[in-house]
Structure 1
Amino acid sequence: MNDVAAAAGVALKTVSRVVNSEPGVNAVTASRVQAAIERLGYRRNDSARILRRGRTASIGLVIEDVADAFHSSLIRAVEDAALHHGCLLFTGSSREDAARERDLVLAFCARRVDGLIIVPAGSDHGYLAPEFEAGIKAVFADRPPGAGCEADTVLCDNAGGARTGTAHLIAHGHRRIAFLGGSPRIFTAAERLRGYRQALAAAGLPYDEGLVVMGAPDPPRVGADLTRLLTAPDPPTALLAGNGRTTVEILRALASLTGSSDAGAAGGLALVGFDDFELADLLGVTVVAQDPARLGRTAADLLFMRLSGDEEPTSRIELATRLVPRGSGERPPLSLRDRTAS
């Protein structure tokens, strides 16, 4: 800045006023200072300026998988909110590993981010207590915090969405409905299983453990589980997929089994997926849609509210899902003879 002042022939305070868009500098002088800034390539040291205010103007976001479409939409929403508030966003993926989540969170804290948005992989967040005492603010998204932590939380209505999807299949005549969900230790998967069971109970249908498969959505496992379900003596007539990646793997497995890319073509199966995904509309897949962008915006709004000094009791917000019928979830059940013929 001293060099700029010397080149423009003005006082250091004048350069500071121009750089910080403060009043009190006439247009001719301001133009001369701007010309010197451009000629010398001067850049304002925002880090030093912000640190003098006791903030770093940065936040950290820890998600499960940056490649996943759900988390990509969430990231973009949080990034937009951060830019709106003049903040930088640091992002990392836990890959569903509690230790990796903890390492990422503490790495962000060591760099003195002002706040955190966490999609948790672990079930114990007591390690955050010293960070909270140091002034770090945190909001949990998609899943609640584990033991030892109280913080603002934004969720989707997982149980309600699964209940709606299952009830939709029941309303179309299905009584044997299989549920293929994520690992039962994951909050969202457990909640969706709970919603599935609630819909069965409300319709007076029995819960059959043989129709429930829980685990990671890897292709070999999904294909083997689907084959086992479809070749059982009393196979399901409909499927509820517990997440978007499982829905996609079901479609691939069905295509392999039947040679058709038609959603649910194997034996006339009806299919409802939890989570929308790219090309689901073209494939005619009925889904229970979440709104990851809204989830990200809401979490970011809560975080910046805390950073502005709000000290209200912590809140837990649950966002609604919506059923999007596209054809695959509206197929009526076929008789065993029809299923064999198809």
Structure 2
Amino acid sequence: MVRKPATLKDVAALANVSRATAARALNSYGYVGGETALKVQAAAEQLGYRSNRLAQALRNGQLPIVGCILGDIQNPFFARIAHDIEVIARERGHNLVIGSSEEVLQLEISLLGSLQSLSIRGFIVAPTSADDNGHLQQLVSNNVPLVLIDRVAEGVDCDSVVVDNEGGARKAVEYLITMGHRRIGLLQDDMRIFTSRERRSGYRAALSANGISLDDRMIAVSQSTVEHAVDATIRLFSQKAPPTALFTVDSLMTQGALLAFRSMGISIPHDVSLIGFDDFNLATFTDPQITVVSQPVSEIGRVAARLLFERLSGQDAPPQKIRFETKLVVRGSVSRHSAG
């Protein structure tokens, strides 16, 4: 005959205390005298009692789960962020549910709605759109803890963790200009994404500050995947007067550009110079190694998770807007260009 699992009532009876006292002793809330607590714990151990923390959390509306909706989870940048958030969540006794919006607004909205229906306590989101964000504003209005990561959203007043995208892009393009380049290509993704807007703004600012006119023929728009970046790069460099240098706005596009150059027989840095935004493992395994704008990816997820758990613990301070600096890491993929 299978023995029924011990219940809280059984523990209370064996310890000769009320169920409420047994519950307080086993779940560490409220006050229970030391001797009584020891009696309850001994009874629980004798009976093999295991509390159902999930059921308790559901009853209290405090399910120990937080949600995280990022862009393409296959992107190494987002994968590292998800890992770091999960580490912090685990340290705080929470589980993490991760969703990938694939940079599709309606999918982001759908994922957020589904997670909200599970009574998840708070969210970390990399918003797909800088403008269409009523669903995020609604979270803030309902006092649901929300941290925006990598990107901000217009009109959403909450904690955020981003980097200086515009400044990083400007440093990269200005470096190319100091190396003699004036036909500088830009490989970017959808302009509704905050990071794309900021990095293009830095690109334009660097050109303008150095008296170089913006030329739309030097700009290619691609989805942020290696495959799409290959096609966009080939289109850009099949022109009669292609760029002499290329700036890509993320690591997947940088990898796509590298594959495109190889297929076209274009040599780096002899035929074209290359700088990518965001460092990645293969950047130091290529020959030459790739010059990049590096962002502190090891800090971004951890800081966002810390902000979220501060809100979950009841902190009621004004929203924190954290912006990390970037660093231009010069390697071997840029050469000096001589006009003529």
Partner residue of 2:35?
24
Partner residue of 2:337?
333
| 8 Å CA contact retained: 1:5, 1:15 | no
Matches within 5 A, 1:162-241: 162-218=169-225, 221-241=228-248
Separation in structure 2 between the aligned mates of residue 218 and residue 17 of structure 1, nearest angstrom: 52
AA paired with 2:305? A
Q: Alpha carbons of 1:254 and 1:307: their partners in 2 closer, same or farther (altered >3 Å)?
A: same
Q: Give TM-score scaled by structure 1 length.
A: 0.84
Deviation digits for residues 276-308 of structure 1, max 9, x if unmatched?
Answer: 112111110111112233221222222222222
- The SS at the match of 1:121 is coil
Listed as ranges, the gaps of 5+ residues in structure 2 are: 1-5
Q: Does 1:86 align with 2:70?
A: no
Partner residue of 1:74?
81
Q: Does 1:106 align with 2:109?
A: no
Separation in structure 2 between the aligned mates of residue 208 and residue 94 of structure 1, nearest angstrom: 32
Q: Alpha carbons of 1:51 and 1:155: their partners in 2 closer, same or farther (altered >3 Å)?
A: same
Q: How many residues align?
A: 326
AA paired with 2:206? A
> Which shows bigger deviation, 130-139 or 85-94?
130-139
Partner residue of 1:158?
165
Separation in structure 1 between the aligned mates of residue 196 and residue 87 of structure 2, nearest angstrom: 29
- The SS at the match of 2:281 is coil
| 8 Å CA contact retained: 1:269, 1:333 | no
| 8 Å CA contact retained: 2:124, 2:146 | yes
AA paired with 1:318? R
Deviation digits for residues 63-121 of structure 1, max 9, x if unmatched?
Answer: 11222111111111111221222212111111111111111111111111111111111
Aligned-pair distance for 1:47? Answer: 2.4
Let me know the Cα RMSD of the aligned residues. Answer: 2.9
Matches within 5 A, 1:42-57: 42-51=49-58, 53-57=60-64
- The SS at the match of 1:288 is strand
Work out the percentage of aligned pairs sharing the same amino acid.
Answer: 33
AA paired with 1:289? S
- The SS at the match of 1:65 is coil
- The SS at the match of 2:177 is helix
Q: Alpha carbons of 1:6 and 1:187: their partners in 2 closer, same or farther (altered >3 Å)?
A: closer
Q: Alpha carbons of 1:315 and 1:271: their partners in 2 closer, same or farther (altered >3 Å)?
A: same
| 8 Å CA contact retained: 1:268, 1:333 | no
> Which shows bigger deviation, 97-106 or 52-61?
52-61
| 8 Å CA contact retained: 2:8, 2:23 | no
Q: Does 1:271 align with 2:279?
A: no
Separation in structure 1 between the aligned mates of residue 37 and residue 304 of structure 2, nearest angstrom: 44
Q: Alpha carbons of 1:43 and 1:334: their partners in 2 closer, same or farther (altered >3 Å)?
A: farther
- Which one of 148, 164, 185 corresponds to residue 140 of structure 1? 148
Aligned-pair distance for 1:17? Answer: 7.2
Aligned-pair distance for 1:221? Answer: 5.0
